[in-house]
């Protein structure tokens, strides 16, 4: 088993049936004995990811979709920044999903996701995602009104229906070569408070503070229930959830890196094979270049 597999597997949920959030500790640091050890592995992960990404891009066939979901201050932005620091920006797109715009609300909920799916060969990162439709919208069902779904279709089964739709959608993506990874950065309520306080106290963190985030904290238990139910219903073999401990940022980042590296190791993207026709083309090009060179010298 590779280090990436060993580090990420304990947090991978492929079958939601038995999932309980309370079995996962936000303060867990696995078998890592120090921050330095984690940093070394993170660098190793970043280097491996960079190599795999070059092949993924060259192969131009498979792509990766990486969803990040979490409570505020769980470290989504930092994880994206650190973990993706070694990848070629040309092969990678990051999209933050915010409160839907009026144009987005004029469409069905998955419409905006469709436009942002990664192209072949690319890595697409969603900072929040279509999962908000069963998280913030579930915790604040009044948001459903803005979506203007015909009222007769908004029944007590709405969440079950949405889980089903998401599962079908993800199966469609995986059948078409889009490999899906989903991260839930699992933060404790206590650590969130510490991070909010730091945003208030440290001038260079003030810009990150939002009073709305503190108001959302009141709904903590509702969110945890929504997250648990979401994972129960949408963790599948083809689109697993990783429930990543988030109270220690250094651990969060190395687990995220490990999960991505492990996925790429299993996918094994490779440079496209040179077929006989292409080889002929390469040989002809070489002759032409060598001819030019001798002509210049002559
Ligand atoms: P942030 O990621 O902190 O910039 O905040 C983005 C905000 O947009 C969060 O409060 C999300 O809950 C909210 N948001 C994202 N997607 C949706 C959605 N589909 N419906 C309603 N609110 C959303
Ligand atoms: Mg925010």
Q: Give the number of the atom of ligand 1 that is nearest the alpha carbon of residue 76.
A: 2
pTM of the complete model: 0.95
Q: What angle do CA 119, 122, 124 make, to 5 degrees?
A: 85
| Cβ partners under 8 Å of residue 3, min gap 6 | 41, 44, 258
Average model confidence (pLDDT) for the chain? 96
pLDDT at residue 295, as a whole number:
56
pLDDT class for 296, splitting at 50, 70, 90?
A: low
Q: Evaluate: CB of 130 within 6 angstroms of ligand 1.
A: no
pLDDT at residue 91, as a whole number:
96
pLDDT at residue 33, as a whole number:
83
What are φ and ψ of residue 183, in 5° steps?
A: -110, 130
Give CA–CA dist 40/124, Å, rounded.
Answer: 25
Q: Evaluate: CB of 68 within 6 angstroms of ligand 1.
A: no
Give CA–CA dist 214/73, Å, rounded.
Answer: 11
pLDDT class for 58, splitting at 50, 70, 90?
A: very high
Residue 283 pLDDT > 90: yes
Q: Evaluate: CB of 45 within 6 angstroms of ligand 1.
A: no
Q: Evaluate: CB of 113 within 6 angstroms of ligand 1.
A: no
Q: Give the number of the atom of ligand 1 that is nearest the alpha carbon of residue 213.
A: 10
User: How large is the average pLDDT for residues 228-251?
Assistant: 98
Kindly identify the ligand whose nearest atom is closest to the C-alpha of 137: 1
Question: Which residue's alpha carbon is at the smallest distance from atom 3 of ligand 1?
Answer: 72
Residue 292 pLDDT > 70: no
Q: Evaluate: CB of 214 within 6 angstroms of ligand 1.
A: no
User: How large is the average pLDDT for residues 166-195?
Assistant: 98
Q: Evaluate: CB of 133 within 6 angstroms of ligand 1.
A: yes
> Could you tell which of 70, 73, 74, 99 is best to mutate to test the pocket of ligand 1, judged by most ligand atoms within 8 Å of the CB?
99
Residue 136 buriedness (CB in 10 A; 0-12 / 13-18 / 19+): middle
Q: Evaluate: CB of 143 within 6 angstroms of ligand 1.
A: yes
**296 vs 94, higher pLDDT:** 94
Report the percentage of the chain scoring pLDDT > 90: 97
pLDDT digits (tens, 9 = 90+) for 18-35: 999 999 999 999 999 899
**Cβ–Cβ contacts within 10 Å for residue 72, how many?**
18
Residue 165 pLDDT > 60: yes
Kindly identify the ligand whose nearest atom is closest to the C-alpha of 208: 2
pLDDT digits (tens, 9 = 90+) for 102-133: 999 999 999 999 999 999 999 999 999 999 99
Q: Evaluate: CB of 110 within 6 angstroms of ligand 1.
A: no
Residue 203 pLDDT > 60: yes
Q: 59 C-alpha to center of ligand 1: Å?
A: 34
């Amino acid at each position: 088993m590779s280090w990436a597999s060993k580090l990420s597997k304990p947090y991978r949920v492929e079958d939601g049936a038995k999932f309980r959030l309370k079995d996962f500790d936000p303060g867990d640091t696995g078998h890592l004995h120090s921050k330095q050890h984690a940093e070394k592995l993170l660098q190793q992960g970043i280097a491996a990811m960079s190599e795999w990404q070059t092949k993924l891009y060259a192969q131009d066939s498979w792509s990766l979709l990486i969803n990040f979901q979490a409570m505020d201050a769980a470290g989504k932005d930092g994880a994206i920044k650190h973990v993706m620091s070694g990848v070629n920006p040309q092969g990678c797109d990051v999209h933050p999903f915010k409160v839907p715009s009026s144009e987005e609300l004029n469409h069905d909920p998955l419409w905006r996701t469709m436009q942002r799916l990664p192209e072949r060969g690319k890595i697409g990162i969603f900072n929040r995602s279509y999962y908000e439709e069963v998280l913030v919208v579930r915790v604040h069902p009044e948001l459903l009104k803005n979506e203007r779904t015909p009222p007769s279709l908004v029944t007590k089964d709405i969440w079950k229906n949405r889980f089903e739709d998401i599962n079908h959608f993800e199966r469609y993506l995986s059948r078409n070569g889009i490999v899906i990874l989903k991260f839930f950065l699992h933060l404790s309520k206590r650590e969130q408070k510490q991070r909010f306080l730091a945003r208030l106290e440290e001038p260079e963190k003030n810009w990150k503070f939002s009073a709305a985030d503190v108001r959302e904290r009141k709904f903590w238990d509702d969110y945890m229930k929504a997250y648990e139910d979401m994972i129960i219903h949408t963790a599948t073999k083809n689109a697993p959830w990783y429930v990543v401990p988030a109270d220690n940022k250094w651990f969060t980042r190395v687990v995220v890196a490990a999960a991505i590296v492990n996925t790429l190791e299993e996918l094994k993207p490779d440079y496209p094979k040179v077929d006989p026709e292409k080889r002929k083309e390469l040989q002809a090009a070489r002759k032409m270049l060598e001819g030019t060179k001798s002509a210049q010298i002559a």
